[in-house]
Each structure stands twice: as C-alpha cells, then as structure tokens.
C-alpha cells in the first residue's frame, strides 16, 4: 500500500458528477487550503475524504496538478444511504473533498520508522501513543488568544491552530469530578466559539502601571464549559490556584465592576464547580490605567509541564559571608525611616526575576554586636532607593552577639537585575558585624546571609 501524503487544512469543492476522477475546485472557505496551497505536488498519493450530504467516501487517490484532478484509486470505507461498505459514491456535483489521515496511514509510518514487525504491532503501539492526553489527563488542542477593543479585554479559547473550536476542531478538557469524594475525571469537549470579556473599567485587582497576571481557567458548569479569569495576587498575598479545587465564581457583569483580586470571574456565575487551569496572560509593565484594557498581554502561556503554579518557588538566589567588619556611622533611633547612607553596608545580593509579575521574598540574617550596651538598627534596601524597605532594632549587651533578622516580600516589578542591601548601624559607638567587641568569633564561620526566593504570582 502506498504511503499517503498529508496536507494541512486542505478542503476544496468539486462539481464532479458520477464515480470517476474528480476535478478539484476552489478552497471550501478562506479558512482552508487547496491541494497546491498545502504543498501537494503532481503524482502524489493522498488519503481523501469525499462528503456530500450524509454520504462519505474515504480512499487513496493520485493528484494530477495539470487540471487539478484527483483519481479515486482505492476506496477503504464509504457510507452511502446509511450503508457502510467500500463502494464509490456517485457524486451529484456538490461534494467537498479534504485530505485526512486514517489509522492505516499511521500504521504504515510507524512500521517505516520502527522495528515493529507487522501492522498488528503498529496498531498496538498507536493505541499507546496517541491517547497520551487522555491518559495523562491534560487538555488537548488548546489555544488562548487575547484581544482588546473599546478598553475591554476579550479572552478566547481556540484550537491549537488558532481557529475557533468546532465539531471538526474540538478542544478537549479533563476536569476533576464535580463530587469531591469521587476520584474519576470528567472529560468535556468544546465544539463552538467560546470567550470571556473583561469589561472596560474592571480592574481585576490590577494597579495602574504595575505588572500583573491573569490566570485563565475552564469551569465545568454541569456539562457547559465556561471560561474564567482570576488575578491570584493581592498585594504580596498569593491565592493557591489548583486543579483540585471545587470553587465558585462571580459574574463579570459587563459594567466594569470586576475589580477584586483573588476572585474568579466568569460570564455566568458558577457555584462549587470543578475547574481546569488553561494558562495565564501577563502584562509585564501593567496597564497604564487599571481597568482600561488597551494593551494586549506581553506574554501568554498555556499551562502544562514545567509551568509553575501561583505560590510555587520558581527561582532562588543565596549569598553568605563570615567576613568581619564594623561601622561607627550611626542610625537615629527615632520615628524617621532608615536611609541608604546610614549605618554600614555589610551584605548585598542580586537577583534577576523571571517575571515582573512574580513576588520576591527577601531574607537577611546577620550576626551583629556593639561596643558596650547600646541600640543597634538594621535595614533592608533595594537598589538606590533611599528609604529602607524594612527595619529592625534591638539592644545588645556588651560582650554578646545578637542575630539581626529581616524578612520582606515585594513585587518583582521588572524582569531586570535588582540588588538588595543589608545595612546596620549603632545609635552610638561601634557596631560589629560577624565579630564581638572587635574580636574574631568562631574562626570566621559565623553565618550571616541574604537570600531571595522568587514566587509565582
């Protein structure tokens, strides 16, 4: 059996009448290609499918470029008047013909590139290879598209080819069972255009000119798939989005009132329904004005292997030192914010965020002491910003070492390298870092460190 040539999105009209070779006409619509447009060349054999009314014919045919003729060499399956067989249709002049692939084509290709001995082995292998999505419980043939108009955002579910879902281009979505105590999945198929509009004025919890991300999900509303969107980040608090949830949503409303972070918005509200995470859309510099959706996302990412969920650590930087140092530059112990020039700078750490829409958790631990019993202040700074992000203070008795600890969370804000600095100083006298009263301690092994953990937002 000859190996059939495949062609992408080929479907044409034919006015041929009878059971002979077909003269091929124009593409079925602008969404399809002719044989030539899809790269089919003279004398190549294709797997064709004729359709006319409720009848169809599948077979192998040879394409002749001159005159755009397709022969009907071998019929492998037909159904005429409701009766299945291998007879040729008698075309009535209003048929369409497309290029498709049949099981035997996959079998032939698998045999050609493997050590399998016969078609039975190949068929078994195919049965194990092609239902991967179903066996792994992952969506298949999924795409997401965003568009903006009149300051509103439209999020559309598409097939992997970018076209709307249809009966011939279905999107398949597995979801957890709607009953919490049931562990078997539910599969739903989307076969028609589906979208969600975030209306003008709906901020979704975004802040103007600040990086943000919307996670896109599919809800199973008793067999009806509804698109949903959620901003999982509220300040530095992260909603733990998971496929295992049974949750409710709020109707977007269409009047600019979808303004909350950590709330699911759908076109029609759902109550305690299963969801599937489809991906996210990110605005790395945010919107100029929150609620004015006049900028398309800078990044659209489908969810799948290797894509982190909100709350996951996606990167980490760490730096430690046992170096001895000191400073006499004081820090006022009053109600003013510690400044970048006060105290001494003892540690720095640089981190390049993966995404501006992620959260950075910065930790600093320092072994510090003072000359006599005095007040010590330490603070965390970012780049050249004058004000400390966070500070701490304590009183240290003479001859003792204290542990200065700071933890702070902040939006990455940009995907460019940022540097965090640890500064400390006394109210008076001298502050010692990794030493006690100017004497080395623990042979230089005192563990002072800074770390940055980047968290998916």
> Mean pLDDT score of the chain, rounded to an integer?
91
Q: Is the pLDDT of residue 114 over 70?
A: no
Token pair listed for 257: 């009132």
Percent of the chain with pLDDT over 70: 90
The structure tokens 């409710």 sit at: 248
Give the pLDDT score at 126: 43
pLDDT band at 129 (very low <50, low <70, confident <90, very high): very low
> Looking at the domain assignment, is residue 185 inside a domain?
yes
pLDDT band at 147 (very low <50, low <70, confident <90, very high): very high
> Looking at the domain assignment, is residue 3 inside a domain?
no
Exposure letters 92-111 (e unless 16+ CB within 10 A, then b): eeebbbbbbebebbbbbbbb
Give the pLDDT score at 118: 54
pLDDT band at 140 (very low <50, low <70, confident <90, very high): confident
pLDDT band at 397 (very low <50, low <70, confident <90, very high): confident
β-pair type (418-426, 402-411) = unpaired
Give the pLDDT score at 108: 55
Residue 77 CA neighbour count, 13 Å, CB half: 9
pLDDT band at 103 (very low <50, low <70, confident <90, very high): low
Asked whether residue 211 falls in the same domain as residue 247, the answer is yes
| pLDDT top residue among 387 and 116 | 387
Q: Is the pLDDT of residue 175 over 80?
A: yes
- Of 273, 306, 339, which residue sits at a domain end? 306
> Looking at the domain assignment, is residue 2 inside a domain?
no
End-to-end CA distance of the chain: 54
Rounded Cα–Cα distance for residues 263 and 255 (Å): 16
Asked whether residue 126 falls in the same domain as residue 142, the answer is no
Asked whether residue 154 falls in the same domain as residue 109, the answer is no
Q: Is the pLDDT of residue 144 over 50?
A: yes
> Looking at the domain assignment, is residue 424 inside a domain?
yes
Give the pLDDT score at 2: 58
Contact 393, 333 (CB under 8 A): yes
How many structural domains does the chain have?
4
Asked whether residue 288 falls in the same domain as residue 265, the answer is yes
| Alpha-carbon distances of 229 from 153, 213, 252, 267, 310, rounded to whole Å | 11, 10, 9, 10, 14
Asked whether residue 299 falls in the same domain as residue 164, the answer is yes
> Looking at the domain assignment, is residue 46 inside a domain?
yes
> Looking at the domain assignment, is residue 1 inside a domain?
no
Residues spanned by the domain of 117: 105-130
Asked whether residue 161 falls in the same domain as residue 179, the answer is yes
Give pairs for 142-146: CB < 8 Å, separation 24+. 142/171, 142/173, 142/278, 142/302, 143/302, 144/216, 144/278, 144/279, 144/281, 144/300, 144/302, 145/300, 146/281, 146/296, 146/297, 146/300
User: Which pLDDT tens digit goes with each residue over 214-271?
Assistant: 999 999 999 999 999 999 999 999 999 999 989 999 999 999 999 999 999 999 999 9
User: Which pLDDT tens digit goes with each residue over 184-213?
Assistant: 999 999 999 999 999 999 999 999 999 999
Spatial CB neighbours of 90, under 8 Å, sequence gap ≥ 6: 17, 18, 19
Asked whether residue 319 falls in the same domain as residue 377, the answer is yes
Asked whether residue 339 falls in the same domain as residue 440, the answer is yes
pLDDT band at 127 (very low <50, low <70, confident <90, very high): very low
Asked whether residue 119 falls in the same domain as residue 47, the answer is no
Asked whether residue 290 falls in the same domain as residue 433, the answer is no
Separation of CA 444 from chain center: 45
Asked whether residue 112 falls in the same domain as residue 147, the answer is no
Asked whether residue 47 falls in the same domain as residue 179, the answer is no
Give the pLDDT score at 133: 54
User: Which pLDDT tens digit goes with each residue over 400-414?
Assistant: 778 899 999 999 999
Give the pLDDT score at 330: 94
> Looking at the domain assignment, is residue 4 inside a domain?
no
Rounded Cα–Cα distance for residues 58 and 74 (Å): 9
């Amino acid at each position: 059996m000859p190996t059939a040539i495949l062609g992408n999105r080929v479907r044409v009209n034919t006015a041929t009448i009878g059971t002979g070779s077909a003269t091929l006409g124009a593409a079925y619509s602008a969404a399809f290609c002719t044989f030539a447009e899809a790269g089919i060349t003279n004398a190549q054999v294709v797997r064709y499918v004729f359709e006319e009314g409720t009848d169809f014919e599948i077979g192998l045919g040879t394409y002749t470029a001159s005159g755009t003729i397709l022969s009907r060499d071998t019929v492998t399956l037909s159904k005429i008047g409701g009766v299945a067989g291998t007879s040729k249709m008698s075309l009535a002049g209003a048929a369409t013909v497309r290029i498709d692939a049949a099981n035997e084509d996959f079998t032939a290709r698998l045999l050609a590139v493997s050590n399998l001995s016969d078609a039975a082995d190949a068929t078994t292998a195919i049965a194990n290879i092609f239902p991967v999505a179903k066996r792994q419980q992952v969506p298949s043939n999924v795409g997401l598209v965003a568009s903006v108009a009149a300051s509103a955002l439209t999020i559309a579910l598409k097939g992997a080819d970018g076209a709307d879902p249809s009966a011939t281009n279905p999107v398949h979505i597995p979801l957890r069972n709607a009953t919490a105590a049931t562990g078997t999945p539910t599969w739903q198929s989307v076969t028609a255009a589906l979208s969600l509009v975030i209306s003008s004025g709906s901020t979704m919890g975004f802040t103007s000119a600040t990086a943000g991300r919307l996670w896109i999900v599919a809800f199973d509303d008793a067999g009806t798939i509804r698109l949903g969107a959620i901003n999982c980040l509220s300040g530095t608090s992260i909603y733990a989005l998971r496929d295992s949830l049974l949750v409710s949503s709020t109707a977007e409303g269409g009047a600019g009132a979808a303004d909350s972070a950590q709330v699911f918005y759908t076109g029609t509200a759902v109550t305690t329904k299963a969801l599937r995470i489809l991906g996210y859309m990110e605005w790395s510099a945010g919107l100029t004005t929150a609620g004015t959706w006049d900028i398309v996302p800078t990044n659209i990412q489908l969810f799948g292997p290797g894509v982190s969920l909100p709350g996951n650590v996606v990167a980490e930087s760490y730096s430690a030192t046992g170096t001895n140092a000191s400073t006499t530059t004081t820090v006022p112990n009053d109600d003013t914010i510690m400044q970048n020039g006060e105290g001494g700078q003892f540690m720095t750490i640089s981190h390049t965020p993966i995404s501006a829409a992620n959260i950075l958790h910065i930790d600093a631990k320092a072994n510090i002491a003072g000359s006599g019993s005095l007040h010590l202040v330490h603070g965390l700074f970012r780049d050249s910003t004058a004000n400390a992000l966070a500070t701490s203070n304590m009183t240290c008795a003479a001859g003792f070492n204290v542990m200065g600890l700071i933890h702070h969370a902040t939006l990455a804000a940009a995907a460019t390298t940022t540097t965090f600095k640890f500064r400390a100083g006394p109210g008076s006298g001298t502050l010692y870092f990794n030493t006690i009263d100017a004497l080395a301690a623990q042979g230089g092994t005192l563990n002072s460190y800074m770390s940055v953990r980047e968290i998916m937002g």
